[in-house]
Structure 1
Amino acid sequence: MSSALGRDLLFQLLQHYGVSHAFGNPGTSELPFIDGFPKYPGIEYVTALHEANAVGMAMGYARQTGKPGVVILHVAPGLANGTGNLYNAYRAGIPLVVIAGQHHTRMLIEEPILAGDHVGQVRSMTKWAHEVRHADELPIALHRAFKVALTPPHGPVFLSIPYDVSLAPTAIDRIAPPAKVASGFVAERAALEEIAQVLLAAKRPLLVAGDGVGDAGAHDEVVRLAELLGIGVIAEGMPTRQNADNRHPLFLGTLPLNAKQIRQSLGGADLLFYVGVGAQAPVALYDNGGSLVSPGTKMAYLSDDPWEIGKNVIGGIGAWGELKASLAALMEIVKKSSGPYRDTIAERRREVEAQAGARRKRLAAALLADRGTGQISAKLVAAELAKLLPPDGMFTIVNEAVSGASAFSDYVPLWDPKQYTAGKGGGLGHGAAQAVGAAIADPERIVVGVSGDGTFLYYPQILYSAVKCNARVLFVIVNNRAYHVLKTGMQAMGAPLGADSLDCLDLDGPADLVKIAEAFGVAAERVTKPDELADALRRGLYAAGPYLLDISVTT
């Protein structure tokens, strides 16, 4: 019998993958794992005061490192606390390995307190979920968990490991290096040739760039393909990566989250090319207005996830492959086939550049109008922040500003996938924790976590973790003292909603965000006037540790 315990196999895999931090909220059933950290000095346990923050930090860590984010949670109630952000990670395709300690196997038959059906709790929001019932299962279960999480399409996996299994002697001293699935395959050439032909022949094609682009590091390829074809690029709704350079003259912005506005944004195209799109219906409130894609619109897809091909629109051309390599192959085909379409491409490019230029003018005019009010808006915060961020691009914006979110993708120049992340599932309370995880992953990078006041108040105890790790995060709270997104949502839906004022949507009560921050040991200040904004942002950006700005914004 080996001298290694069940828990040691997990730590050995963490060493193999170069995972430096794991995240959790300590509880009884996972104590064997927590007790193991001092025995593996290269791996640090980061304490969260709520399981949602543990998952959120792991999301930010995984996004910045490209390594699996590892979370160790408590038995059923603790797991339940983490599922909101587990859902966000699942929808965003973030590779997490989530482990929950389960009761002792001998005790489960007696239905003890805290025990539950862990796999049933998370099956709908993981790529794979399993409960280990014997130490002999652990090598296979752990191998499979890491392999599945890291094989495209990426996503979270889950293991429930009983207390006694984690402490049981194992049959092996060391777990073998895990299998790596080679997934860099190029999409079928015939499909790429067909896509190239319809892109060249279309009058008004539009490329929709999804998070698969950023995950694959294919953002430059997307822009080069758009240049070859003379077509516009728009980011998918609720992006969690920067999937194309938003300074480029062919960039047309980000799809909105309002169904009517999505139809307007897509309606001018006779061909939509979805590249790595994972949120084809980023709508929280549906208006019963029909499909988000106009009838008769031709569809083409390139994705590393075949589920996303032809999912919501009947028909079209789909190519399944790794995005970076497949886009390179597609560009070569376009170059060889574009001769007869040279004039068409040039004309399309002029039209798209004019459209993008008009958009930039509208953004500039809206910002100028906000400056004239003498009050602070989310646009003004984003524009001032953009002036202060390092020009070398070593920064990350974690965006959970909700009703003010679009300002931070519109007014901050972004050109690299690691410069931006957000949430995709629609669940709130991930942003501040993701920012801390990103700062832990890359201490040299400036990290700005932008939250609304409502989202920040979900789990403000993330400040405890930020202080304990001395995470250099500037927490920017765009405080409109309301669940403003719900108010605008009711207005957009119209009658019968919105007839009455709802006090429950106002947050002008007793919460003092500056005092909350200071209570956790975080330096903080309140900003109420535009002329205070730049200096406050500068102090926060270059502070030696976490810093919070409570910025009063107009709605």
Structure 2
Amino acid sequence: MGCRPAPALLDILRGEGVDRVFGNPGTTELPFLAALVADERAPEYVLGVHEGAVVSMADGYARATGRPAFVSLHIAAGLANGLLGLLNARRSRTPLVVMAGQQDRRHLQQDPMLSGDLVALAAPAVKATYDIQHARDLPLALRRAFALALRPPAGPVFLSVPMDLLAEDTEVEVPARTPAPPGSAAAGLDRAAVLLAAAARPVIVAGDGVGRDGAMSALVRTAEACGAPVFHQPMADWLDFPTTHPLYAGTLPPRHEAIRAALAPHDAVLITGAHAFTPHHYSPGPALPPGVRVLQLDSDPDEIGRNFPADHGLVGALGPSLGRLADLLRERVPAHTAKARILRAGERHTADRDRAEAAARAAYSPAPLAPLAAAHAVARGLPPGAAVVEEAITVGLPLRRLVRLDRPGSYTHTVGGGLGWGIGAAVGRSLAEPGRPVVAVLGDGCALFGLQGLWSAARCGAPVLFVVMGNGAYRTLQDTYEAMGGTGPCPGTELGRLDFTRAAEFFGVDAVRAESAEHLRELVAGAAELTRPLLVDVPLR
């Protein structure tokens, strides 16, 4: 049975599990807004006052729910404002379905105000685009968009929908939803188990596909079955392996020579769910040391051998593949061998962590704080089960070394590099997981890019603790400038001391300034008791 285009759109959204629409509306979205008003079962509309915050909220929401989030943007200008978030989502492989209203087709050829080539504008930032010109095509394209957003590699999909099309008095057919088939284990796991079991010093690199696909427990079983230490991929977006585990070896630095040095002691490496190695700064030579045997497992066939040769490539769902690999390894690696490796790795990693812990505690002081002390105060203050949303480039590095987390989804970041993601992403995560403490750790430069997200936090009553680390500069840029041999002040990198408590007050968010490292730890520990958002301004040295 058919229905008009706008009700058909809402019917599909319900069927795809969409319970919130993240948007900032304009005239071209009015037919969509009218449909939301007319349908008492319509999704809730979550307003953002800038499209950067809108897309970031949807990103955080999609990561927490595991479903594609739906975004409504306004024509060319709104889409342009949201492109930064779409680039982040594509790089982080966050599933989004994004609809922008196009101008009325009846005068589109006259180049009316706000019109533009939406598809060409969106194309570089998304997986696929749909330019809807006929009402009958909208339901089918929308079904395809939701399926494609989740299919490996996941990411945002865009639809351009003219405003008059949604208001047409015509019936369209709504195709039934086809559930995605369950992922299956990769072929070739027997050989992978033989190769790993034969290694004297195996190691694993856990990519963000592990966290995205909920495969962390399966990876733990695989690592324990052969006693292999596990590194996070460089600049990891997710918690892909418990940082409390004795086999956890930390995060690989995003430079080839540093990755080479970290992996050099090993004779075989399993790289699973990692999009390349995401190098940030160039260094000559390959990421992998010579002579190491490489096994690569990914749900995306394009990743196998993409940036480095693999001796054995496997394509399949990560959870089932790693679970089966763990069983095969237990048959081939003697239990006493695996346990001995775990003990040795645990002793080495515990000593490293104890040194980092001692150095951080020694740096405690009244404000302004040393970055290491600030990171430690956050890490030790986190309430049980907290979700950390991190966009603090300088403080984020020591924070990753110091956090002790083992719950899936408890640490997220964006490797996309578009600043301003953190505030909105934390709000989206809080909306998706009510009752779970959410702590957003933000650099002051990053916070400035996404400040409008505080408006949504206040209006939604999202009980997020926003921790803004204020060093008054684009510090990571200054550090890189110095490392490259730059002399004198690096131009364009000084922000000066900023008072984020006043910014929070403007948006209706409570705020406090951390007076010491101990005070910061106490404030973070109280995140579980929040009933509304709170911003903590942390002055850094």
Q: Shorter-chain TM-score category?
A: over 0.9
Q: Take 1:421 and 1:212, find their aligned partners in 2: how far apart are those partners?
A: 13
Residues 431, 41 of structure 1: alpha-carbon distance in 2 compared, 3 angstrom cutoff: farther
* TM-score, normalised via structure 1 length: 0.92
User: Which one is further off, 75-84 or 535-544?
Assistant: 535-544
Tell me, yes or no, if the aligned pair for 1:72 and 1:100 is still in contact at 8 Å.
yes
* TM-score, normalised via structure 2 length: 0.95
Indicate the residue corresponding to 2:121 in structure 1.
121
User: How many Å apart are 1:90 and its aligned residue?
Assistant: 0.8
Residues 262, 372 of structure 1: alpha-carbon distance in 2 compared, 3 angstrom cutoff: farther
Indicate the residue corresponding to 1:363 in structure 2.
356
Indicate the residue corresponding to 1:515 in structure 2.
502
User: How many Å apart are 1:221 and its aligned residue?
Assistant: 1.2
Q: Take 2:379 and 2:368, find their aligned partners in 1: how far apart are those partners?
A: 18
Indicate the residue corresponding to 2:102 in structure 1.
102
User: How many Å apart are 1:356 and its aligned residue?
Assistant: 1.6
Indicate the residue corresponding to 1:444 in structure 2.
435
Tell me, yes or no, if the aligned pair for 1:252 and 1:359 is still in contact at 8 Å.
no
User: How many Å apart are 1:71 and its aligned residue?
Assistant: 0.5
Q: Take 2:81 and 2:280, find their aligned partners in 1: how far apart are those partners?
A: 22
Q: Take 2:361 and 2:261, find their aligned partners in 1: how far apart are those partners?
A: 25
User: How many Å apart are 1:255 and its aligned residue?
Assistant: 1.7
Residues 164, 238 of structure 1: alpha-carbon distance in 2 compared, 3 angstrom cutoff: same
Tell me, yes or no, if the aligned pair for 1:244 and 1:416 is still in contact at 8 Å.
no
1:473-515 deviation line (CA, Å, top 9, x unaligned): 11100111110111112233x23xx112124211115x42111
Residues 186, 111 of structure 1: alpha-carbon distance in 2 compared, 3 angstrom cutoff: same
User: How many Å apart are 1:350 and its aligned residue?
Assistant: 4.1
Q: Take 1:292 and 1:373, find their aligned partners in 2: how far apart are those partners?
A: 41
Indicate the residue corresponding to 2:372 in structure 1.
379
Q: Take 1:372 and 1:448, find their aligned partners in 2: how far apart are those partners?
A: 22
Indicate the residue corresponding to 1:224 in structure 2.
221
Indicate the residue corresponding to 1:160 in structure 2.
160
Aligned partner letter, 2:360: L
Aligned partner letter, 1:322: A
Indicate the residue corresponding to 1:284 in structure 2.
280
Residues 403, 307 of structure 1: alpha-carbon distance in 2 compared, 3 angstrom cutoff: same
Aligned partner letter, 1:530: A
Indicate the residue corresponding to 1:58 in structure 2.
58
Tell me, yes or no, if the aligned pair for 1:374 and 1:530 is still in contact at 8 Å.
yes
Tell me, yes or no, if the aligned pair for 1:147 and 1:178 is still in contact at 8 Å.
no
Q: Take 1:33 and 1:532, find their aligned partners in 2: how far apart are those partners?
A: 47
2:178 partner SS: coil
Q: Take 1:344 and 1:127, find their aligned partners in 2: how far apart are those partners?
A: 45
Tell me, yes or no, if the aligned pair for 1:97 and 1:156 is still in contact at 8 Å.
yes
Residues 488, 263 of structure 1: alpha-carbon distance in 2 compared, 3 angstrom cutoff: farther
Q: Take 1:131 and 1:10, find their aligned partners in 2: how far apart are those partners?
A: 15
Tell me, yes or no, if the aligned pair for 2:208 and 2:274 is still in contact at 8 Å.
yes
Q: Take 2:138 and 2:461, find their aligned partners in 1: how far apart are those partners?
A: 35
Q: Take 2:26 and 2:475, find their aligned partners in 1: how far apart are those partners?
A: 36
Tell me, yes or no, if the aligned pair for 1:367 and 1:379 is still in contact at 8 Å.
yes
Tell me, yes or no, if the aligned pair for 1:436 and 1:471 is still in contact at 8 Å.
yes
Aligned partner letter, 2:230: V
2:539 matches 1:549: no
Indicate the residue corresponding to 2:34 in structure 1.
35
Q: Take 1:22 and 1:295, find their aligned partners in 2: how far apart are those partners?
A: 50
Aligned partner letter, 2:516: K
Indicate the residue corresponding to 1:458 in structure 2.
449
2:269 partner SS: strand
Q: Take 2:219 and 2:526, find their aligned partners in 1: how far apart are those partners?
A: 37
User: How many Å apart are 1:117 and its aligned residue?
Assistant: 2.0
What is the 5 A alignment of 1:158-197?
Answer: 158-172=158-172, 175-188=174-187, 191-197=188-194
Q: Take 1:486 and 1:66, find their aligned partners in 2: how far apart are those partners?
A: 34
Indicate the residue corresponding to 2:130 in structure 1.
130
2:110 partner SS: coil
User: How many Å apart are 1:122 and its aligned residue?
Assistant: 2.3
1:183-204 deviation line (CA, Å, top 9, x unaligned): 411111xx21121111112232
| RMSD of aligned Cα (Å) | 2.1
Indicate the residue corresponding to 2:520 in structure 1.
533
What is the 5 A alignment of 1:70-85?
Answer: 70-85=70-85
2:311 matches 1:321: no
User: How many Å apart are 1:541 and its aligned residue?
Assistant: 4.8
Residues 345, 532 of structure 1: alpha-carbon distance in 2 compared, 3 angstrom cutoff: closer
User: Which one is further off, 216-225 or 361-370?
Assistant: 361-370
User: Structure 2: any 5+ residue segments left out of the alignment?
Assistant: none
User: How many Å apart are 1:256 and its aligned residue?
Assistant: 2.1
1:77-116 deviation line (CA, Å, top 9, x unaligned): 2111111111111111111001111111222222223222
User: Which one is further off, 201-210 or 28-37?
Assistant: 28-37
What is the 5 A alignment of 1:120-519?
Answer: 120-172=120-172, 175-188=174-187, 191-278=188-275, 280-287=276-283, 289-339=284-334, 345-371=338-364, 376-391=369-384, 393=385, 395-492=386-483, 494-495=484-485, 498-508=486-496, 511-519=498-506
User: How many Å apart are 1:408 and its aligned residue?
Assistant: 2.9
User: How many Å apart are 1:343 and its aligned residue?
Assistant: 6.3
1:545 partner SS: coil
Residues 444, 300 of structure 1: alpha-carbon distance in 2 compared, 3 angstrom cutoff: same
1:112 partner SS: coil
Residues 223, 535 of structure 1: alpha-carbon distance in 2 compared, 3 angstrom cutoff: closer
User: Which one is further off, 424-433 or 292-301?
Assistant: 292-301
Q: Take 2:204 and 2:138, find their aligned partners in 1: how far apart are those partners?
A: 44
Q: Take 2:316 and 2:109, find their aligned partners in 1: how far apart are those partners?
A: 46
User: How many Å apart are 1:525 and its aligned residue?
Assistant: 1.3
Tell me, yes or no, if the aligned pair for 2:140 and 2:174 is still in contact at 8 Å.
no
Q: Take 1:453 and 1:300, find their aligned partners in 2: how far apart are those partners?
A: 40
Tell me, yes or no, if the aligned pair for 1:379 and 1:411 is still in contact at 8 Å.
no
2:455 partner SS: helix
Q: Take 2:451 and 2:160, find their aligned partners in 1: how far apart are those partners?
A: 28
Tell me, yes or no, if the aligned pair for 2:439 and 2:524 is still in contact at 8 Å.
no
Aligned partner letter, 1:198: L
Q: Take 1:275 and 1:243, find their aligned partners in 2: how far apart are those partners?
A: 10
1:151-209 deviation line (CA, Å, top 9, x unaligned): 2332111111111112123433x724311221411111xx2112111111223221011
2:152 partner SS: coil
User: Structure 1: any 5+ residue segments left out of the alignment?
Assistant: none
Aligned partner letter, 1:513: F
2:457 partner SS: helix
Tell me, yes or no, if the aligned pair for 2:235 and 2:415 is still in contact at 8 Å.
yes
2:11 matches 1:20: no
1:337-378 deviation line (CA, Å, top 9, x unaligned): 224xx6654554344223322321232232133227975234
Residues 324, 540 of structure 1: alpha-carbon distance in 2 compared, 3 angstrom cutoff: closer
Aligned partner letter, 1:9: A
User: How many Å apart are 1:258 and its aligned residue?
Assistant: 4.0
User: How many Å apart are 1:10 and its aligned residue?
Assistant: 2.1
Q: Take 2:229 and 2:526, find their aligned partners in 1: how far apart are those partners?
A: 38
Aligned partner letter, 1:232: P
Tell me, yes or no, if the aligned pair for 1:215 and 1:417 is still in contact at 8 Å.
no
Aligned partner letter, 2:11: Q
Q: Take 2:444 and 2:491, find their aligned partners in 1: how far apart are those partners?
A: 16
Q: Take 2:40 and 2:253, find their aligned partners in 1: how far apart are those partners?
A: 46
Tell me, yes or no, if the aligned pair for 2:366 and 2:517 is still in contact at 8 Å.
no
